[in-house]
Amino acid sequence: MEKQTVKKIVNGLDVEQIQGMVDAVKKQPQMAQAKFHAKTVWKNGFNMEMTIKDFSMGGVTNTSSRQSPFIVPGDHPPELLGTNKGASSVELLLAALGDCIASGFAIYGAHMGIPIESLTVEIEGDIDLQGMLGLPEPGKVRPGYQEIRAKYYVKSKAPREQLEKLAKMAEDLSPTRDSLRAVKFSSQLIVQ
């Protein structure tokens, strides 16, 4: 009789594949060197179109993993002189942060054996628009976010203590959050 192997899938991820990736990078750290690319084409006013497709890992450019590029429209709301054809760049930044932290919950939760039934990440940030307008004078008010806050609505059978550890890991190992390290960040875990 043949022995059947059953894949252990947690949070939609194959736990064996996660460990395999970790082991491979331990043996060859250069495999983890990655480059991501994005192209932005200005259309008119604040209306842009961002294209994301190719990436590189371990020094090898991958042009075939994604059959077609992801197209992301960008714009501003009319109140900020836009035409509402897409989200603004600062909104996309918050969405990217939420995506990255949610991904962290999934992969680190799978690795730790913490099943997530549902997860919603809400991110909000404070910007003083005087900064981008150079008011009251250039440099007086910073143009970017002064503070970013996150709430994680998590449904899981895991104890709160484990979920808190998982949330911290998802934040601390988030490449997107690390890229924003000059901005004050706070979060709140809400177990459902």
Kindly provide the residue ranges of all beta strands, DSSP E only, lying in the chain, ordered along the sequence: 9-10, 13-14, 34-36, 39-44, 47-52, 55-57, 60-62, 70-74, 118-127, 145-155, 184-191
Q: How many domains does the chain have?
A: 2
pLDDT at site 2: 63
Is residue 2 assigned to a domain?
no
Residue 192 sits in the same domain as residue 170:
yes
The tens-digit pLDDT sequence of the chain (192 residues) is 566 667 899 999 999 999 999 999 999 999 999 999 999 999 999 999 999 999 999 999 999 999 999 999 999 999 999 999 999 999 999 999 999 999 999 999 999 999 999 999 999 999 999 999 999 999 999 999 999 999 999 999 999 999 999 999 999 999 999 999 988 999 999 999
CA–CA separation, 53 and 110 (whole Å): 27
pLDDT at site 3: 62
pLDDT at site 1: 59
Of 71, 73, 69, 70, the residue nearest 87 (C-alpha): 73
User: What does DSSP assign to residue 87?
Assistant: B
pLDDT at site 6: 74
Residue 168 sits in the same domain as residue 98:
yes
* Residue that is last in its domain, among 86, 111, 134: 86
Residue 93 sits in the same domain as residue 187:
yes
Q: Are 41 and 49 in contact (CB under 8 A)?
A: yes
pLDDT at site 62: 95
Residue 185 sits in the same domain as residue 99:
yes
pLDDT at site 182: 87
Residue 93 sits in the same domain as residue 82:
no
Is residue 1 assigned to a domain?
no
Q: Give 8's contacts (C-beta < 8 A, 6+ positions apart).
A: 14, 15, 16
Of 104, 90, 190, the residue nearest 147 (C-alpha): 90
* Residue span of the structural domain in which 47 resides: 8-86
pLDDT at site 100: 98
Residue 97 sits in the same domain as residue 72:
no
pLDDT at site 120: 98
